[in-house]
Amino acid sequence: MGELRDRMEADLRLRRRSERTCVAYLRCVRAFAAYHRRSPAELGEPEVRAFLTHLVEERRVSPSTQGVYAGALRFLYAITLRRPEVSALIPRPRIVRSLPAILSPAEVERLIATAWSAKYRALFMTAYGAGLRVSELATLEVSDIDAARLMLRIRAGKGGDDRDVPLSARLLAVPPTGTRLAAPARISSRARGPGSRSRPRPSGTCSAR
């Protein structure tokens, strides 16, 4: 599905979808084509239903995973193939939202204390205290810290949006590697492996194949 894949990638890019969404949607459509061993352009609503039924009954995917597949196929048929009548018939799974387990302050303290170095203890405290995703933590830099206002700037978070989150004075005083968090040095380079980029790829790049 080379040409179709390129068209869908271009459609995703034009709509500024995140790189993660691009990769996930293209992977889902590739799995759909592989299941039927035919191009999606030759398939319709019965084949979509058969594939989604396979995911639910045989592969036993979670409702959220099913939702990603359904979203990818809706995008494919509504936008790339311009067959909205097929897209409209693709069901949206019901996703049950359960409450997460909430740790007590004492449990959080014990969890953070298990970190094997001061650097990782500071990273764990930052992630928990500021409510950061792993991807946001990995791209955090010292220039994102506003010590005067006790705010932390999160750049290119979910959906590619920036946001400010509160930063506690206690967290600001934690030395990650022998220096204060507000020292003029990069945090992110210590959190990522060698060769990583300092910032995530802009939304809509869809580079992975």
Domains, the chain, with CATH or none? 2-87 (1.10.150.130), 105-191 (1.10.443.10)
| Of 209 and 108, the one with more pLDDT | 108
Three-class DSSP category at 154: strand
| Of 207 and 27, the one with more pLDDT | 27
Kindly compute the dihedral angle of the four CA atoms of residues 177, 161, 16, 188, in this order, to the nearest 10 degrees. 0
Count of all residues that appear for the chain in the document: 209
Mean pLDDT, rounded, for 152-160: 77
| Of 184 and 86, the one with more pLDDT | 86
Does position 209 have pLDDT exceeding 80, yes or no?
no
Q: What is the pTM of this model?
A: 0.64
Name the strand (E) or helix (H) holding 153.
strand 151-154
Which tokens sit at 196?
């990583």
Kindly compute the dihedral angle of the four CA atoms of residues 109, 110, 111, 112, in this order, to the nearest 10 degrees. 50
Mean pLDDT, rounded, for 23-50: 96
